[in-house]
Structure 1
Amino acid sequence: MLTLYEYSMSGNCYKVRLILTQLNIPFIRRKIDILKGESRTTEFLLKNPNGRIPVLEIEPGKFLFESNAIMFYVSESTDFFPTDKFERAQVMQWLFFEQYSHEPFIATSRFWYITGKAEEYQEALQQKQAPGYAALGVMEQHLENHAFFAGDRYSIADIGLFAYTHVAGEGGFDLTGFPAIQTWIERVKNQPRYTSIAD
């Protein structure tokens, strides 16, 4: 059985939990408390030398890290990853966008708020507002004319962007001005076998 090494509040870990749950793939959850440095231990670094979560143990001693790579691995040959060449590239396009234009601003801000470090990082939080809202603007523009992000059907591109977008408010981002995003969030929540980030 697959084993997921994770920190439950992490949106990156949530991506993996959500896709595994929606694919009805059984897995074991192993908590790694990143606030206590558990992802930096010698034992954990043998699983991921980069010292980050999530890590998926596919079989004893065989590990895969980086949330979007894990989603790609488990979703290939399923309805969550298209067969059309262009649509596959679209999925990857949005996953790269998530990691470079979205996650560094929205996810990082949320992490500082939920771990009680917002006061310490006030200046950095302010600097992340403009690029974070810019990323949301790109998403809003796309979703005004599309139900989902790739091929107009639910895929790991949606899961990748949903993970931190639907909790953006916890990082100081107001989604009031993004009606298409709000509608899409509800659309994702209505997918079969949806599970909450809090589960």
Structure 2
Amino acid sequence: MEPMVLHEYAPSGNCYKIRLTAALLGLPLERRHYDIMHGETRTPAFLQNINANGRIPVLQVGSRLLPESNAACWYLATGTPLIPDDRFEQADMLRWMFFEQYNHEPNIATLRFWKAFIGEERLTASQTAQIPAKRLAGEAALAVMNDHLAQRDFFVADRVTLADISLYAYTHVADEGGFDLSRWPAVQRWIDAVSAAPGHVSLDA
């Protein structure tokens, strides 16, 4: 495999997904840090050379660049047990990865960023007004996850897959956004199971 570089902001759950996928597979990654709090992904050099969308993570494979966390995880995991062989289970895994990006991340990750990184006292009036709706939507996403996990250990295929990695990244730190995970015991049990996976690395590793 070609040398790989992860362009990242280390506290980001989206960046962590890629590091966790690589760690579970024993794949080496060089890491290059950008401080999003000081606009380092909005510089002309970054926009021209790394990602014209001005966002991270970006996985660099040789000279090629792959933005979007779940796409990068898919690249790393292709041909490994992190992606099921069964066609339906593959599609079901993708279903949960889409759920994460559409229902989960915009609410749980956003509230974490606003609360733990920006600070509620520094939010705009528009952001403050969105908090109640985002909290309700985040709680609804956690409830869906809890119901699904009530009778199974993992989301798909009875083992850790990319579905678990994509959802674990922001769920296990949801308390930083003000979510009380004790309300969802099946989710807590699943967090413990993913954390115990061989090769697991923590967010701050």
TM range (shorter): over 0.9
Residue by residue over 1:93-138, the C-alpha shift from the partner in whole angstroms, topping out at 9 and shown as x without a partner, is: 0000000000000000000112133222433222211110000000
- Corresponding position of 1:50: 53
Residue by residue over 1:138-189, the C-alpha shift from the partner in whole angstroms, topping out at 9 and shown as x without a partner, is: 0000000111111121101100000000000000111111000000000000
Instruction: Compute the TM-score of the two structures, normalised by the length of structure 1.
Output: 0.97
- Which amino acid in structure 1 is aligned with residue 143 of structure 2? G
* Residues 80, 155 of structure 1: 8 Å contact kept: yes
- Corresponding position of 2:183: 177
Q: Does 1:195 align with 2:205?
A: no
Aligned residues with identical type, % of pairs: 48
Measure the CA separation in 1 of the matches of 2:37 and 2:130.
Answer: 20
* Residues 118, 125 of structure 1: 8 Å contact kept: no
- Which amino acid in structure 2 is aligned with residue 187 of structure 1? A
Match of 2:6, SS state, is strand
Measure the CA separation in 2 of the matches of 1:141 and 1:152.
Answer: 16
Measure the CA separation in 2 of the matches of 1:194 and 1:6.
Answer: 19
Match of 2:120, SS state, is coil
- Corresponding position of 1:85: 87
Match of 1:38, SS state, is coil
Contiguous gaps of at least 5 residues in structure 1? none
Matches for 1:1-199 after TM superposition, within 5 Å = 1-45=3-47, 46-60=49-63, 62-119=64-121, 120=123, 121-199=127-205
CA RMSD, 1 decimal: 0.9
Match of 2:61, SS state, is strand
| Count of residue pairs brought into register by the alignment | 198
Measure the CA separation in 2 of the matches of 1:75 and 1:19.
Answer: 7
Match of 2:182, SS state, is coil
Measure the CA separation in 1 of the matches of 2:198 and 2:37.
Answer: 33
Which 4+ stretches in 1 moved above 3 angstroms? Answer: none
Contiguous gaps of at least 5 residues in structure 2? none
Measure the CA separation in 1 of the matches of 2:10 and 2:116.
Answer: 12
Measure the CA separation in 1 of the matches of 2:156 and 2:204.
Answer: 26
Measure the CA separation in 2 of the matches of 1:153 and 1:24.
Answer: 17
- Which amino acid in structure 1 is aligned with residue 39 of structure 2? G
Q: CA deviation at 1:11?
A: 0.2
- Which amino acid in structure 2 is aligned with residue 56 of structure 1? L
Measure the CA separation in 1 of the matches of 2:178 and 2:150.
Answer: 23
Match of 2:191, SS state, is helix
